[in-house]
Amino acid sequence: MLKKFSSLLLGFSFVFLFISCNVENPEITTKELNDHIQYLASDSLKGRYPGTEESRLAANYIKDNFNKGGLKSIGDQGFQKFLVVTAITAGDHNTLQFDDKKGVLNTDFAPFAYTKNDSLNAEVVFVGYGFSIDNDKIKWDDYAQVDVKGKWVLILMGDPETEDPESPFAQFAGERDKVVTAKDKGAAGVLFVNGPVFDKGDKLIGLNFDKTRSNAGIPVIHLKREFADQFLENKRIEELEKLANDKRSSISFASGKSLVATTDVKQQKVETENVLVFIEGNELKDEIIVLGAHWDHLGLGGPNSGSRMPDTIAVHYGADDNASGVAGIIEVAEKIAQQKNLKRSVLVIAFGAEEMGLLGSSYFTNNPLFELKQLKAMVNLDMIGRLKEDHSIMISGTGTSVESEDLLKQLNADSTFSIGMSPEGFGASDHASFYAKDVPVFFLSTGAHEDYHTPFDQADRINLEGAKSIADYTYDLMMNLINRDSNLTFQEAGPKQRASGSRRYKITLGIMPNFTSAENNGLGVDGVRKGGPAEGAGMKKGDLIVAINGLPVSNIYEYMSRLNKLEAGTTVTVDVMRNGEKLVLLVHL
Ligand SMILES: [Zn+2]
């Protein structure tokens, strides 16, 4: 009883102290930053995955702390809610039939996650591996001798050297690529089947969600081997796979049989939110400076989560990514709110679903609550918790206004930081959504590291003094943007969006790889092209690339094969060895 009473009393005085603290000491302190990071990156928030109960705790915590700092909530009671797709499931209308044989969903077939929902009744043409390759090493066209226009094509999964990751076929083995080829050749639908060499157990992988939201434009279905065998009558998939592997050229033929199928997939959606507060200015209150940081992270990780350890299901704490940035904007905003006579207004946003593809920020810029032309600049903090001894920070978007570079240098006159500036407005975080709408942007970060997107991105590894120094710098930058005489002059700096289109762009890092090494310890970098993606990420001549996106690279072949799986416009992690030390670089392709 007594114990309860005294703790209640203690609780009261604590709250009292806390409130008075906020009023009298708006300074940014390491203690406050630490409190926010410790909570947001605690076990109990389970990695802040969008749509979860824990993610709601995070969003509420941020809103409450904004309000405690005297900031006024706007939007729908402080939130801006939106839906995100987290999985693809089969709908009720999937059918598959030939003659009088009906396929059973998930037993005989499954639609692919990126299928178009459609019906097709057409002849089936078997096209082997579905290749149309003409390069120095391989000449193989499965479409040369058959007419597939308006028909189903039946395609073997994988390639003739499935077991060999260094195979020159590997880059053509992806299902997405095969679908694009089939479509280019005029096919109206694609049926995939596993040969026993590719997958003895014949698992249907159709509904795996690879996070791409676009559909293939035609129905795409995964068939069980046994079902395909019935269909092909006297030819078995096992024999056809063997024949293709032995012959190393096309074994295509028209089956003379029709198949009718309907595909029906549904997007599983959850609601998540941005958290918003507003500080009204005076003289130029219709002009708005935006301060933002994303609050979401990877949850428990797992395949397709963005985790660099996709086989490990564990809390991905996201202390640096991006509890640190959120702590930063809470404290910077609180300090700004204490200042009198702000010229312009300030909009502070904690974005949701950044890790799923900048979804919160792009939702905001497409539903901006204000007129877009009122937004005069945007400052984004993402991963500010790992300042190294050399005090190097990265600021991107420095080319998006005429004045940015000079301004940043002037604010760093005491050389607190060694600033690596990168002009592009597009990039791997939420500022990109604002740049796409012609807003000058600043993206501040201490950069990637070994623990990036792993369960080891933990609160006790944060450099709090470093985070505080960046928050102080951000405050100075914000105050300049809020009170300066004239606004920044926007200018374009690089493409405004991720490259899109059905065909993949040829990916390069912009390095000269060492082709001659016979060692299997990585890929040597013999040179770095000026202005290329690798240079932008800080790669240097003499570095040894040992992994891309967490997948090992032990030689030139693995390097090429990893490269081929990447998409233009995305950001990848590249692990390099330099002077015996492992560094993780974020390369924007
Ligand atoms: Zn991240």
pLDDT tens-digit series, residues 392-435:
999 999 999 999 999 999 999 999 999 999 898 988 899 999 99
Distance between Cα 184 and ligand 1 center (Å): 35
Distance between Cα 427 and ligand 1 center (Å): 12
Mean pLDDT of 217-246: 93
- Per-residue pLDDT, 305: 83
Domains recognised in the chain with CATH numbers: 35-87+269-483 (3.40.630.10), 93-263 (3.50.30.30), 511-588 (2.30.42.10)
- Per-residue pLDDT, 3: 37
Distance between Cα 571 and ligand 1 center (Å): 10
Distance between Cα 309 and ligand 1 center (Å): 13
By DSSP bridging, strand 571-578 and strand 581-588 are antiparallel
Q: Which of 220, 235, 247 is closest to 157 using CA atoms?
A: 220
Say whether pLDDT at 369 is over 60. yes
Distance between Cα 428 and ligand 1 center (Å): 9
Q: Does the model's pTM come out above 0.95?
A: no
Tell me the per-residue pLDDT of 32-86, one tens digit each, with 9 for 90 and over: 999 999 999 999 999 999 999 999 999 999 999 999 999 999 999 999 999 998 8
Distance between Cα 91 and ligand 1 center (Å): 32
Which H or E run includes 480? helix 464-483
Q: What is the 3-state secondary structure (H, E, C) of 407-449?
A: HHHHHCCCCCCEEEEECCCCCCCCHHHHHCCCCCEEEEECCCC
Q: What percent of the chain has pLDDT over 90?
A: 67
- Per-residue pLDDT, 212: 59
Mean pLDDT of 286-298: 98
What rounded mean pLDDT belongs to the chain?
Answer: 89
Distance between Cα 303 and ligand 1 center (Å): 15
- Per-residue pLDDT, 504: 37
The pLDDT-based confidence of 14 (bands split at 50, 70, 90) is very low
Say whether pLDDT at 568 is over 90. no
Mean pLDDT of 208-218: 72
- Per-residue pLDDT, 81: 97
- Per-residue pLDDT, 20: 42
- Per-residue pLDDT, 24: 41
Query: Helix crossing, 225-232 with 237-247: angle to 10°?
Result: 90
Distance between Cα 325 and ligand 1 center (Å): 11
Distance between Cα 295 and ligand 1 center (Å): 10
- Per-residue pLDDT, 245: 95
Distance between Cα 588 and ligand 1 center (Å): 14
Tell me the per-residue pLDDT of 159-179, one tens digit each, with 9 for 90 and over: 999 877 678 898 888 888 899
Mean pLDDT of 379-388: 97
* Core vs surface per residue 434-444: b (16+ CB within 10 A) or e: bbbbebbbbbb
- Per-residue pLDDT, 444: 97
The pLDDT-based confidence of 25 (bands split at 50, 70, 90) is low
Q: Who surrounds ion ligand 1 at CB < 5 A?
A: 321
Tell me the per-residue pLDDT of 452-498, one tens digit each, with 9 for 90 and over: 999 999 999 999 999 999 999 999 999 999 999 999 999 998 877 65
CB 135 within 8 A of CB 170: no
